[in-house]
Amino acid sequence: MTALPDGFQVQIDRRCVRNSDLRYLVGGSPMRVLKLSDAALGMTSADGRISVHDAATRALARTLLDSGIGLPRPMNGPDSCAVTVVIPVRDNQSGIDTILHALAGQRVIVVDDGSAEPVRVPEDVTLIRFDVNRGPAAARNAGLAAAETEFVAFLDSDTVPTRDWLTMLLGHFSDPTVAIVAPRVVGRRLSAGGSVVARYANAHSSLDMGPRESPVAPGTALAYVPSAAMVVRTSAFLGFDETLRVAEDVDLCWRTHAAGWRVYYDPIARVRHDHRESLSKLLNRRRYYGTGAAELAGRHGRSAAPVMATASMALAVVALLTRTRFGVLLASVIALYSMYRTRTLMAGIPGRTSIAALATGRGIGWGLLQACQAMLRHYWPLTLVAALLIPRFRRVVLQLAVAEGAVWWLRDQVLQSRSPAIGPVGFVVMRRLDDLAYGAGLWQGVLAAASPAALVPVLRV
């Protein structure tokens, strides 16, 4: 049974609406254009909301959800008593004490993953202990196997959920196709004068998927959600791969999606995370995350590619990066042709020229950022060799390193925050160190796997 229940509502994302006209909707990931029929418009309120009450509204709501243009607005969901919280832990008694205090009254299973000194829990908390460390994937699987509830929430021992986080997430499970829902993982509140490392870790955590809600799928703007905090439907849970010590959450999300289930990210619910404040610990963790790319490439192939782009857009980006007149001319020709093709495909749609121009501009802009990130993060050893051998390229790399960091600082710290947690210089320096650490881990994983699959870009025709 995959039908949306009566009363379930879907809100058309206002960013997909042009000039207050609900007939033509532009958005989603990848971007697409939907045209609503007169009948569909009749089912939609003036503010773009659809309430499910019959077969027609059910079909329209599902189409909008599947496109990413519609945002789920469930009116009810399971109660928190239908959830067991599973917490894997190793050598973190203080973290367990803190999180259990925040979860008072909730059914909890703690899995001690081979701590040197056994973890202690109150009598009303179930404790499973491994004599040897088996990894977080095995610990989470053991906790879920012991749970008897319809839903299980996974929380790491260094997290603390905010009030009503479960209530905010559980409503999504009224959609019977939803298997996983995740909250936003944010840094804990810092006292004034915290170190640059601590402020960067809080402001730019690899666990923080950002402020925009979104469906989760490989190859889209939001490819996965972290297992540090997620809620799963027990009957749809495929199990973490216990052979993975890193990237097991990415693997689970991608297998769940491939099996036909939906994964959703809702940042209105928040869980605070105690990030590492030591530079060495932070960078070592980033390096560790990078080693998982080779494992993912071996299991999921093209979905784990460091770069995904159309061949034409890739050529336009490379042409622009040459910073020559011919390069600019070639990129302009490609952009105009791409815009022409997109405009032709949207025959009969009002404002198709501006839509095509916007889509082309976004494509090139994202392509430039992706190319910079690939050069500075995934392929930095090759970039370093080229910079040492080619003096002119050295200056280009330095300029890109500053420009790319500045763009992300503006995006993450200025446009999405009233008061930036870290200044532009500190952010750029930390981002470059972050990329060097992740890239080192990526190459470490590639060498260990004896396969370059995690380094191979995907270019579509």
Q: Which pLDDT score is estimated for 242? A: 97
Please say if the pLDDT value at position 46 is more than 90: yes
Q: Which pLDDT score is estimated for 2? A: 78
Question: DSSP 3-state assignment of 111?
Answer: strand
Whether 68 and 196 share a structural domain = no
Res. 103 pLDDT band, cuts 50 70 90: very high
Cβ neighbourhood burial of 15 (10 Å; 0-12, 13-18, 19+): exposed
Residue 298 maps to a domain: no
The whole-number average pLDDT for the span 160-180 is 96
CA–CA distances in Å: residue 76 to residues 83, 110, 155, 381? 15, 29, 23, 51
Residue 386 maps to a domain: yes
Query: 424 and 403 in contact (C-beta within 8 Å)?
Result: no
| Tens of pLDDT, residues 78-100 | 999 999 999 999 999 999 999 99
Query: 183 and 267 in contact (C-beta within 8 Å)?
Result: yes
The whole-number average pLDDT for the span 107-130 is 97
Please say if the pLDDT value at position 283 is more than 80: yes
Query: 447 and 440 in contact (C-beta within 8 Å)?
Result: no
Amino acid, res. 272: R
The whole-number average pLDDT for the span 367-380 is 94
Whether 384 and 415 share a structural domain = yes
Last residue of some domain: 52, 73, 94?
73
Longest dimension (CA), the chain: 73
Please say if the pLDDT value at position 192 is more than 80: no
Q: Which pLDDT score is estimated for 20? A: 86
Alpha carbon distance 352, 346 (integer Å): 6
E strands, 333-460, are 458-460
Count of residues for the chain?
461
Q: Which pLDDT score is estimated for 187? A: 84
Last residue of some domain: 73, 107, 126?
73
Helix (H) or strand (E) holding 86: strand 83-89
Tokens matching residue 264: 């959703």
- Higher model confidence: residue 29 or residue 26? 26
Whether 66 and 97 share a structural domain = no
CA angle 216, 443, 292 (to 5 degrees): 35
Residue 4 maps to a domain: no
Query: 139 and 118 in contact (C-beta within 8 Å)?
Result: no
Q: Which pLDDT score is estimated for 199? A: 85
Whether 264 and 339 share a structural domain = no
Please say if the pLDDT value at position 13 is more than 80: yes
Q: Which pLDDT score is estimated for 71? A: 97
Q: Which domain holds residue 58?
A: 9-73
CATH number at residue 183: 3.90.550.10
The whole-number average pLDDT for the span 367-391 is 94
Alpha carbon distance 315, 413 (integer Å): 31
The whole-number average pLDDT for the span 207-220 is 93
- Percent composition of the chain: helix, strand, coil (DSSP 3-state, to 5): 50, 20, 30
Residue 289 maps to a domain: no
| Tens of pLDDT, residues 383-422 | 999 999 998 899 999 999 999 999 989 887 777 766 677 8
Residue 134 maps to a domain: yes
The whole-number average pLDDT for the span 179-197 is 82
The whole-number average pLDDT for the span 5-18 is 94
Q: Can you say whether the dihedral through the CA atoms of 151, 77, 184, 266 is positive or negative?
A: positive
Residue 295 maps to a domain: no
CB half-sphere exposure, 234, CA atoms < 13 A:
17
Residue 301 maps to a domain: no
Residue 1 maps to a domain: no
Whether 178 and 105 share a structural domain = yes
Close Cβ partners of 15 (under 8 Å, ≥ 6 residues apart): 27
The whole-number average pLDDT for the span 369-381 is 95
| Tens of pLDDT, residues 291-350 | 999 999 999 999 999 998 889 999 999 999 988 999 999 999 999 999 999 999 888 888
Please say if the pLDDT value at position 150 is more than 90: yes
The whole-number average pLDDT for the span 417-443 is 90
Res. 234 pLDDT band, cuts 50 70 90: very high
Whether 340 and 456 share a structural domain = yes
The whole-number average pLDDT for the span 416-429 is 82
Whether 92 and 200 share a structural domain = yes
Number of domains in the chain: 3
Q: Which pLDDT score is estimated for 320? A: 93
Whether 273 and 315 share a structural domain = no
| Tens of pLDDT, residues 135-144 | 999 999 999 9
Give 273's strand partners. Answer: 159, 187
Query: 461 and 235 in contact (C-beta within 8 Å)?
Result: no
Q: Which pLDDT score is estimated for 1? A: 58
Q: Which pLDDT score is estimated for 400? A: 94
pTM of the model: 0.93
Look-up: residue for tokens 């330095």? 398
The whole-number average pLDDT for the span 18-41 is 88
Last residue of some domain: 73, 102, 121?
73
Whether 406 and 269 share a structural domain = no
Whether 65 and 87 share a structural domain = no
State percent of the chain over pLDDT 70.
Answer: 98
Whether 236 and 345 share a structural domain = no
Report the DSSP pairing between strands 9-12 and 70-73.
antiparallel
Alpha carbon distance 335, 315 (integer Å): 10
Tokens matching residue 399: 């300029």
Q: Which pLDDT score is estimated for 345? A: 85
According to DSSP, residue 44 is labeled B
Res. 276 pLDDT band, cuts 50 70 90: low
Whether 129 and 26 share a structural domain = no
Res. 201 pLDDT band, cuts 50 70 90: confident
